[in-house]
Amino acid sequence: MKRMKRTALLLLLVAALSAVLSGCGDQNKIIIATQTYSEPKILAQMHKLLIEDRTDLKVDVLPDLASSTVVLQAMRNNDVQMAVLYTGMIFDNYFPIQPTKDRASVLQQAREGFDKNFGIHWYDPYGFENTYAFTVREDLAAENHWEKISDVASKAGSMTLGVDTTWLERQNDGYPAFRKHYGINFGKTLPMEVALVYKAVASKNVDIVLAYSTDPRIKEYNLKSLQDDKQFFPPYDAAPVVRNDVIAKHPEVGDIINMLAGKIDVQTMIELNYEVDVNKRNERKVAEEYLHKVGLLK
């Protein structure tokens, strides 16, 4: 009897999962996939709220897919129909590209490449990018009038850089290439896990770190990211993407998605991530409050 109950329960769970992933079987439902971190989850909730507010479509959010590659495969299979991705993904060998760091060119290649190879429409970016950013304490930046990476050059020889090991060792897009590009050599480098760099620089164990530009710990630890004034790092502008067949059937969805284009800058995204990751608030509630604040929801 217990075995029969367990079997029945397993069948129910399988059926439930199949129902969640059956976007191709329900033409009036859109499933938005997200990666494991808060940023795409917040943005997915914004799109869900806006689409359901303005159409009769049902929108589900499927969170915690392991990587953007997994998200792309799910979109290709039509298990999900929408996601938040980053333009710099073109450098991950999904299709041939022309090497460049020009923001407009990277965006255009993302649009053309993902349309041709994945059947995905790439919308205008939100207004922020999630990329590497050299980061210091706000008081140190103010004291030295540092706004951009080039500003630290005169003192770099006496500074300790905290950075993840892999970036230190990468020849083409890591520290060796950075030193050549900027002509900056830090006096000492201290390899560490990326998750530890924020506290390390706030505690003055290092002077400067390589962080992620929208990480909420930048706000939590009163840090300042320096502008990449010589464009060493490739653009990673965040943007919504949707399967072409969904847009063909529901063109009104495209107009709704575009309502967020250019509406979220890097500081706003840090604040939203902070509410979820540090203040432990619900992604949907944070998304809803922001949409009310900017007048997109009544």
Per-residue pLDDT band at 27 (split at 50, 70, 90): confident
Helix-strand-coil split of the chain, %, nearest 5 = 50, 15, 30
- Examine the domain organization and report whether 202 and 279 are in the same domain: no
pLDDT of residue 172: 86
Q: Which helix (H) or strand (E) holds 212?
A: strand 208-212
Q: Which of 225, 243, 263 is the last residue of a domain?
A: 225
pLDDT at 4 over 80: no
Q: Which of 168, 193, 225 is the last residue of a domain?
A: 225
- Examine the domain organization and report whether 106 and 148 are in the same domain: no
End-to-end Cα, the chain, rounded Å: 53
Q: 97 phi and psi, to 5 degrees?
A: -135, 165
**And the tokens for 94?**
């999904």
**And the tokens for 27?**
């033409």
- Examine the domain organization and report whether 114 and 253 are in the same domain: yes
**And the tokens for 75?**
């979109």
**Under DSSP, is residue 45 helix (H, G, I), strand (E, B) or coil?**
helix
Q: Distance between CA 285 and CA 294 in Å, rounded? A: 14
Label the pairing between strands 132-137 and 223-225.
Answer: antiparallel
Q: Distance between CA 154 and CA 169 in Å, rounded? A: 24
- Examine the domain organization and report whether 47 and 181 are in the same domain: no
What mean pLDDT do residues 223-251 have?
97
Q: Confirm if 117 and 255 have CB atoms less than 8 A apart.
A: no
pLDDT at 18 over 50: no
298 in any annotated domain: no
- Examine the domain organization and report whether 41 and 170 are in the same domain: no
61 in any annotated domain: yes
**DSSP bridge partners of 61:** 32
Average pLDDT, the chain: 92
Give this prediction's pTM: 0.89
pLDDT of residue 129: 97
Q: Residue 151 is part of a domain; what is its CATH number?
A: 3.40.190.120
- Examine the domain organization and report whether 11 and 147 are in the same domain: no
Q: Which candidate, 100, 26, 15, places its Cα nearest to that of 57? A: 26
Q: Confirm if 127 and 264 have CB atoms less than 8 A apart.
A: yes
230 in any annotated domain: no
- Examine the domain organization and report whether 121 and 87 are in the same domain: yes
- Examine the domain organization and report whether 171 and 261 are in the same domain: no
Go through the chain and tell me how many residues it has: 298
- Count of domains for the chain: 2
The string of pLDDT tens digits covering residues 63-117 is 999 999 999 999 999 999 999 999 999 999 999 999 999 999 999 999 999 999 9
What residues contact residue 24 under an 8 Å CB cut-off, 6+ apart? Answer: 78, 79
User: 100-114, 159-173, 283-297: lowest mean pLDDT where?
Assistant: 159-173
Label the pairing between strands 29-33 and 188-191.
Answer: unpaired
pLDDT of residue 212: 96
Q: Which of 207, 225, 243 is the last residue of a domain?
A: 225
154 in any annotated domain: yes
pLDDT at 21 over 70: no
- Examine the domain organization and report whether 98 and 18 are in the same domain: yes
Q: Confirm if 286 and 216 have CB atoms less than 8 A apart.
A: no
**Under DSSP, is residue 166 helix (H, G, I), strand (E, B) or coil?**
helix
pLDDT of residue 181: 97
The string of pLDDT tens digits covering residues 31-75 is 999 999 999 999 999 999 999 999 999 999 999 999 999 999 999
In which domain, by residue range, is 119 found? 2-129+235-293
- Examine the domain organization and report whether 84 and 213 are in the same domain: no
The string of pLDDT tens digits covering residues 170-196 is 888 999 999 999 999 999 999 999 899
What mean pLDDT do residues 130-142 have?
97
pLDDT of residue 34: 98
pLDDT at 277 over 50: yes
202 in any annotated domain: yes
- Examine the domain organization and report whether 122 and 78 are in the same domain: yes
Per-residue pLDDT band at 137 (split at 50, 70, 90): very high
What residues contact residue 293 under an 8 Å CB cut-off, 6+ apart? Answer: none
Q: Residue 113 is part of a domain; what is its CATH number?
A: 3.40.190.10
Label the pairing between strands 208-212 and 132-137.
Answer: antiparallel
Q: Distance between CA 241 and CA 85 in Å, rounded? A: 7
- Examine the domain organization and report whether 6 and 122 are in the same domain: yes
Per-residue pLDDT band at 14 (split at 50, 70, 90): very low
Q: Distance between CA 236 and CA 130 in Å, rounded? A: 6
248 in any annotated domain: yes
